[in-house]
Each structure stands twice: as structure tokens, then as C-alpha cells.
Amino acid sequence: MAASNLSIGHRGSDRLALDGVSFELPAGKTLLVLGPSGSGKSTLALAIGGLLPREIPASMGGLLSLDGQEIRGLPPTTVSARVGMVWQDPDSQLVMERVEDDVAFGLENRGWALPEMRARVPDALVEVGLQGLERQRSRRLSGGEQQRLALAGALAPSPDVLVLDEPTANLDPAAAVAFMARLAALRAEGSTTIVLIEHLVEAAWPMADLILALDGDGHPIDVGTPAEVGRRSAAKMRDVGIWLPAAVERRIRGIQLAERPARPRPERTPGTAPVIEARDLRFGFDRAEPVIRDVRLWIQPGERIALVGPNGSGKSTLARLLVGLLRPDAGTVRLLGDDPARLSPAELARRASYVFQDPERQFLATTVEEEILLGLRFVERASARLLMGRLGLPLERFGRRSPYRLSGGEQRRLSLASALVREPAVLVLDEPTFGQDRLGYEALLEILDERLADGATLIAATHDTRFVADATDRAIELDGGWVMADEVVA
């Protein structure tokens, strides 16, 4: 596969998403695409899959070719027969109800004969470690299993090229490692060309034969082997906000910013009123299978709490219970002395802010500016502008855009901004660092430190072990709805 001077602009946008990208990827090798949020990584993935400009209107300049044939010129059947795609959200890529039907779906569409399908489907499931789950309903699988199922569906037709766009973004650390291990095994076979966009750079960097680094405007910073790119451009990549593996970071430590200063821990004075107190909480969407079981919590003002645990362990549910967005089946919650589910919306908003896991599902306005100003008093507007600037979303440039047209990382920062602009006693953030590049991450930590300096309490549900270490001082680990551990973060 090769690209030469490839430029892509989305229709309705005045700037290019990708600008002058060139690379040559030999068959069977792996390309890792790195770049800060909004750098056009997903656009490149769509173009390789032949979906852009065919399905999504866009203008394209330069060349992008597969085995010397320009992808744009190939009929859709040829491209989809040769390129498999995996995205980050399993919910929007699993089509059929049951596991084996979903794997077979891509084969049916390509007109495979029945005996071949019967032979290939179990093989593809073995390749991703899902053997034995053929008749299972895909909605009943865990997030990690669903994502491996999506991989099986893409692998089943034995594509020449596999494109993965942040495949582990929704997975807990263990599931993400398992997914990357499957990918590493696939790469070792050497029969599939892989284009990988991945923020788990520690696992992805060693897998790459070639790295393409992009800056925030879609210009290429460097293309080369990991060793070359690490030597030539590490500092520059760091500056535009790209995460680097620890080994590469260590080499450029000379220019590294100072380590984060140690924070004073909040004093635990017995007898102070808790900001949140939960007693014997129990909650289930389905009565037979509680999501939260007998949880007791005592949270003091100024604590920085991480809720950790695997996908589906009840982190988000507990977070919603603690600020009264859900009512427990049994037990009580007190937020500053009152049942949060009974507070008026205005009073609740004064006491707590909440950022939901999926940023798209909490947008209430049609432009970025309306979204951030929604419900704010006039005097707070200036600080909202300032905050958006610090989070890399200046209103001059982003204000009139639709929140839905932002990149994933930008959407996350907008939803964070709408919570951080208020000054409530409790900040609840569900996966706050999701899809964040280094610049977004640093800005978030800095703003959080300011907000928490005057005694606010943080509760963050997160898979991000780095964030747990950098921003929190108490980790509550959930599994199957039980609190498994409640300890000080070292």
C-alpha cells in the first residue's frame, strides 16, 4: 500500500483533514498512525477502507493505492473484499444477533459458498479466542469479547489489509492487552497488512514496522521505522501532544517538562461531615442480577477518588447513584446531607457536575458555543471562554460548529468543559481522559488541580491507570457490583 502527497478535506469544512501525507507500506507489514486528536487519523482509515469519498463526501488530492491500483478507482466490491475495518465502538459494528451469524455476515455479502463459510467461521473465532461462543448473543458478551468479535468479522474474509481505528479505546486494561496480543499474533503470521491507529502506544509501538506521525493540522511530522522516528522526531511529536512509550520518553528527558509536584493530601479529620455518604446501596436494571451490591462509602471533602474495575463492573452505575441520577433499589445516598435524587435540578447542579462516559449522549445544544453556555449565568461566560481556550477548543474557531462534528477527543473536552466551568462541591467524571492526546490530558490535570484546590471532591470512573496515578489519591475497585478494594493511591 502506498500514499503519495495525499490530502483530504471533508465537505463543509474549510481546512484539510489530511495534508500532504506520503508513505509506502510493503505487504504484510504494520503501519502505526500517531497524531493528536483531530489530526485526521480516522479520515485516513476511512480512505483506506474505500469508504471515503464514496460513502462520506470529501475532496481528495494525491494518490492512495493498493498494489499499485488507486483505491478511489476500484469498485466498492473489490475494496471491501480486500480491506477489513475495525472501529472503537462494538455497538455500531456488530450487525447480527448471534456471534457466528455476525462473523458469517461479511462472507454472505461476498457470496461465499456455504461449505466454505461453515469451515471459515469457526476458524475466525479461534483466531480471536472466542471459540465455543458461536451461538451466544453478541450483546451478552463483555466489551472486550465484542471487540474481538468485530475483529473476527473483519478477519473472516481473509482481507489483505486490516484497518483498526482505536480498537481498544472502550476496553478495560486487561481486555485491551488481550486484544493487542491477538493483533500481535496476527502480525507475526505476516500475511495481513495492518494499519493501526492506537493510543495504547506502549503496546502498539513495538508492533509497528512503520510509523506515520501527524500533527494537529493533518501535516505529516515524520514517516519511518520506530527507531528512526523515535530518534528524529520524538521531541516534536511530544510537543504536538502525541503519547510516546516510556523508553522513548526517557531518551528525550532533557527537554521534558518538570515532574508533577506532589500534592498535599487532604487531611482526614475524623468527625468532619462527609460530602457523600452511601449506605448499603443496591441497584439492578434487572432484579435478578444486581449491578451494585451492598456498597458503603464515606467520602470526605477534598478527596480525589478513582472508581476502577473491568468493563461492566458497575463503575458508571455507582457514579450515577452517588449524585442521584439513579435511585437505589435499597440503601441510601446523602450528598451534603440530602438525598440527591430529591434535590431540584438547580440545587443538584450547584452541588455536583457530571460528565457522562459517551460524550455524544450528553450534548443538549446544536453548537459548541450554546453547549458550553447552556444554563450558565452571564457572569460565568467569560470564564467559559477562557476554559475552552485552555482545553484547545477556542470559541472563535469551534463556537459555531456542531458538537457532533467534533473528533472524539474534542467531544470529550467539550463535555468536560461544560462540567468544569461550574464550581460544584463534587465533580463526577466518567472516563475523563478517553481519547485524549497529551496536550488535552495535561490541560485537564491542570484545570482539575485548580478546581480541587479549594476543597472540591473528585470522583472519576476510569480505565486509565496513568490518570489514577496522576490525579487521584484513593482508588475504589469494583467487580461484579461489589467493592473489592478501597485503598490509597501510592
Q: Which residues bind other proteins (CB under 8 A)?
A: 49, 51, 55-56, 76-77, 80-81, 83-85, 87, 89, 91-93, 95-98, 100-101, 104-114, 117-118, 121, 135, 137, 139, 153-154, 157, 320, 323, 325, 344-346, 348-350, 352-354, 356, 358, 360-364, 374-375, 404, 418
Helix (H, G, I), strand (E, B) or coil at 91: helix
Whole-number Å distance between alpha carbons of 227 and 417 = 37
| Contact criterion met (CB below 8 Å) for 17 and 10 | yes
Query: Which one, 105 or 482, has the nearer CB to other proteins?
Result: 105
Cis omega (within 30 of 0) for bond into 75:
no
Query: Which one, 48 or 242, has the nearer CB to other proteins?
Result: 48
| Contact criterion met (CB below 8 Å) for 226 and 245 | no
Q: How far is the CB of 186 from other proteins (least distance, A)?
A: 18
Query: Which one, 100 or 215, has the nearer CB to other proteins?
Result: 100
Query: Which one, 50 or 220, has the nearer CB to other proteins?
Result: 50
Q: How far is the CB of 432 from other proteins (least distance, A)?
A: 15
Closest of 129, 144, 201 to residue 176, by C-alpha: 144
Query: Which one, 168 or 353, has the nearer CB to other proteins?
Result: 353
Compute how many other C-beta atoms are within 10 angstroms of the C-beta atom of residue 267.
8
Whole-number Å distance between alpha carbons of 43 and 51 = 10
Whole-number Å distance between alpha carbons of 11 and 15 = 10
Give the CA-trace dihedral at 462, 465, 470, 472, to 10 degrees. 50
Between β-strands 83-86 and 30-34, what pairing exists: parallel, antiparallel or unpaired? unpaired
Q: How far is the CB of 203 from other proteins (least distance, A)?
A: 24
Residue 167 to residues 89, 203, 355, 381, Cα–Cα distance (Å): 8, 13, 23, 37
Q: How far is the CB of 68 from other proteins (least distance, A)?
A: 22
Q: How far is the CB of 113 from other proteins (least distance, A)?
A: 6
Query: Which one, 110 or 265, has the nearer CB to other proteins?
Result: 110
Retrieve residue 68's grid coordinates: 499499485
* Grid-cell match 478511489, residue found: 72
Q: How far is the CB of 82 from other proteins (least distance, A)?
A: 10
Tell me how many helices (H) and strands (E) the chain has. Answer: 17, 19
Query: Which one, 48 or 221, has the nearer CB to other proteins?
Result: 48
Query: Which one, 76 or 190, has the nearer CB to other proteins?
Result: 76
Query: Which one, 229 or 352, has the nearer CB to other proteins?
Result: 352
Residues 6+ positions from 321 with CB-CB distance below 8 Å: 278, 281, 283, 292, 327, 328, 333
Residue 222 to residues 38, 119, 195, 213, 226, Cα–Cα distance (Å): 17, 43, 16, 5, 10
Cα 110 from chain centroid (whole Å): 31
Q: How far is the CB of 80 from other proteins (least distance, A)?
A: 4
Q: How far is the CB of 359 from other proteins (least distance, A)?
A: 10
| Contact criterion met (CB below 8 Å) for 168 and 136 | no
Q: How far is the CB of 133 from other proteins (least distance, A)?
A: 14
